[in-house]
Amino acid sequence: MLNAPSSEDEIIPLDALPDGSIVDVVSMKGAYVGTGLLSRHSRIRVRLVTRNANDDFGPGFWRRKAQWAWDYRKTVMGNDATACRVIFAEADEFPGLVVDRFNDVLVTQTLSAGMERLKPVVFPALLDVFKDDGVAIRGIYERNDVSTRALEGLEQTTGWWHADATDAGDAASKNGPTVTDITENGVKYHVDFANGQKTGFFLDQKYNRLAVARLARGRRVLDCCTHTGSFALNAAHAGAEFVRAVDVSETAIDMARENARLNGPDVAGRMDFTVANIFDLLPELERTHNPERFDFIILDPPAFTKSRKTIGSAARGYREINYRAMRILPRGGYLATCSCSHFMDHDRFKAMLFEAAKDAGVRLRQIEERQQAPDHPIVWGIPETDYLKCLLFQVV
C-alpha cells in the first residue's frame, strides 16, 4: 500500500515491506522525523518526502507537490519555462525523480524504487498540472537507461510512458517522434531526447551560456566538450568572430553542426566543428602557439568524478585542461571553466584553478562565479543539489 499506517495495528514488520513502501522514520526516542520511500537495495534506505506527520499520501498529495514544483519554475524562469527542469529530485521532495520539459514533451529519469512504484500516481498528476495551466504536453518519455537504477534493484528501460498503452508500439504511435525543438537564449536546438545524453539536453547551464555570450562578441572562441554545441552557439549568436566547437563524440558534433544550420548562415558561417579529445588538442595548441589565435576558451567537461574515491584523479584532470587553456590564451584573453561534479566542491575547484594559474605563470581576474540555473534549485541541507561551478576569468 502507498499510505503510511494509520494505527499501530496496521504496522507491518520492516522485513515484510516491499520496495517503494511509504514508511515513517522515528528517532531512537520515538520522535517523528519524517515519512519517506523505502529502498531495500540502496545504501540510502529511506528517502523523505515530507516532515509533516499530518500528511496523507493519496493522489492529491502528489498533485499538490507537482503543482508547487511547476509554480516555482514559472516564477523563477518566466518565459524560459518552455525548456526547463520541472522536478529536481530531492530538491522538490520527489526523491529519485528528474523531469525535464522540452517544449511539448516531458522527459523523465526514475532513479529510486519508491518513485518507480509511484509513477501511476505521479505521472498523471504532472500531466494534469500542465493541462490545467493550458500547456499542451504530447507525452512523457522515460530515459531510465541509467546504471544507478541497479542500486535500487531496477532494470534499465526507455520509451514512451502511457497509462493505458498495451505495449511500447502503442505508446509510440500515440506520442510521436522522439525529437523536438526548443529555443533558449534566442538560440534554436533540435533535442533528441531518446538518444542524447541524460534527458537529451543540459538545461542547467542556460544562464551561464548567456554570461559567456556577453563576452564573446568579436572574439575567437574555442568551446571544449561542446556536446550539442550550446556554449559555442551562444557565442556565435552573440557575434563572435569565429567559434570552433570540439567534442570527442562524433555523434555530438553532428548534432552541434545541425543545430548551427538551424540557426541560419549568420551563425553557422562563423563556426567550425572538430572531433577531438581535448587532452590531446589543448597540448597541441600550446605546442604550436595557438595558430588560430583563440582569445576565449570555454571548458565544460563531463563530470571527472562521481564518487569521493576518485576526487584526486579528477582534480588532476581539471588541472590539466585549465593549465593548458591558461598557457594557450594571450594576455587579456578570457576563460570560462566549469565542473558539474558535486564531489569536486567549490573550494576544491577554486584551489585547483589557483594552482593551475600559478604553474601556468598567469594571474586570473575573476569576472563572475556562477552556478546552475534556478530551475535546478540548491536546497540548503542537501549538499548534492549544489553541484555546478562556472567561473569566468580574464587572464592577466
Active-site residues: which are they?
340
Give SS3 for 393.
Answer: strand
The secondary structure of residue 4, as a DSSP letter, is P
CB of 257 closer than 8 Å to CB of 246: no
The secondary structure of residue 12, as a DSSP letter, is P
CA 345 to chain centre: 16
**Which amino acid is located at 95 in the chain?**
P
**Which residues, in sequence order, are CB contacts of 287 under 8 Å at separation 6+?**
none
CB of 308 closer than 8 Å to CB of 299: no
| Phi and psi at residue 226, to the nearest 5° | -70, -20
Sheet holding 242-247, edge to edge: 271-275, 242-247, 220-224, 296-299, 334-339, 389-395, 364-370
Q: How many CB atoms lie within 10 A of CB 280?
A: 10
| Residue that has been written with the C-alpha cell 516555482 in this structure | 72
| Phi and psi at residue 213, to the nearest 5° | -60, -35
The secondary structure of residue 313, as a DSSP letter, is H
Q: How many CB atoms lie within 10 A of CB 32?
A: 12
CB of 152 closer than 8 Å to CB of 116: yes
Q: How many CB atoms lie within 10 A of CB 145?
A: 13
* Residue 169, burial from CB neighbour count under 10 angstroms (0-12, 13-18, 19+): exposed
**Three cell numbers at 126?**
504532472
Distances (CA, A) of 340 to 305, 337, 370, 385, 391: 9, 10, 12, 11, 12
Give CA–CA dist 389/299, Å, rounded.
11
